[in-house]
Structure 1
Amino acid sequence: MQLIKTDRLIIRPFQMTDHDALQAMLLDPQVVAYLRYRALKTPTEFDDSFKTHFLADTTTTFALENRATHALVGFYEFHPEQTTGILTYALTPAAWGHGYIAEAGAALMAYGFETLGFEEIQAHYADANPNSGRVMAKMGMHDMGELETFTLDNGTTIRVMAYNLMKNDWQAAQPSQAM
């Protein structure tokens, strides 16, 4: 993957120098409360995932770097399922509320449809985190409603909500290129 630059971000493959910042993010229960990465509990578990997933997968897993400070502020990834890419993303708490995911999403929707060949991109979020749903809508995605329900270890019931964007809808929304 080539670097993708947006107004405030550099979207790039992970590097060894991202280890500590990503570890702090993924071992923070507040960040991963509703993510698949909440299963990572120790630095050793994180190290394995960092080596076998974040460093190894340069096609569908991306570091989000702040262009001004060069700090890692989050990640964004696609989990391919046939012709669908399912998004996962997270930010450090200091980066919440700054619009970084929607900014990265605009660039990565193009990458997912044009480079990875997805016909559909989906994103799922826990109803306890409605801000994620709002971000998905800002990225042009459409509300699909409830996907499933599960119960956390602490007994809290979570409804998983889904958004999607079809390639033809994304293409229709792109500004036309003058010839």
Structure 2
Amino acid sequence: MKNILVVSGHTDLEQDSVANKTILENLKQQLPDAVFDLLDAQYPDFNIDVKKEQEKLIKADIIVFQYPIFWYSMPSLLHRWVEKTFVHGFSHGSKGKSLQGKKLIASFTTGAPETFFANGGIDHMLYPIHGICNLCGMEFKGYVYTGGVSYQLRTDEASLSQIKAKACEHAKRVISLINTI
């Protein structure tokens, strides 16, 4: 059995998300044994409990980062979580072997349509993820991306339904990617 850790890096799932919230709800249904780490609920003050988070990472075989792209990068809360938990001596360095061999999947959304990131735009946003994996000896197993799901588009029921449908399809693709590992 694969031990799966899903780390939600959205800074405010309840108020500012339809897509990421729907993706996580679907993943919870499909992955009842997975650990879901909702950073915005646990650390609204960005005060990360490093030991607790590192323990979750140690137990995981597969780590899924679930987040929206904010300004061409992961949200500040997820970035802070990585800064605090992926430290020398734990995740990398001569004695930092805790994450070696673990699999990482990036699962992310953008408010802008997917065509906005054509011609390699997504690849550029994944450089930090690749760097994390390389430094820590983790295996990058790919990504699942859905664009055009801005919370600002939820202006009517039809738009909201379209965002939710895209998010449900996104979750299915994450499950499919996990199942290949």
Shorter-normalised TM range: 0.3 to 0.5
Larger RCO: Structure 1 or Structure 2 (Cα < 8 Å, ≥ 6 residues apart)? 2
TM superposition score normalised by structure 2: 0.34
Structure 1 or 2: more strand by fraction: 1
TM-score by length of 1: 0.34
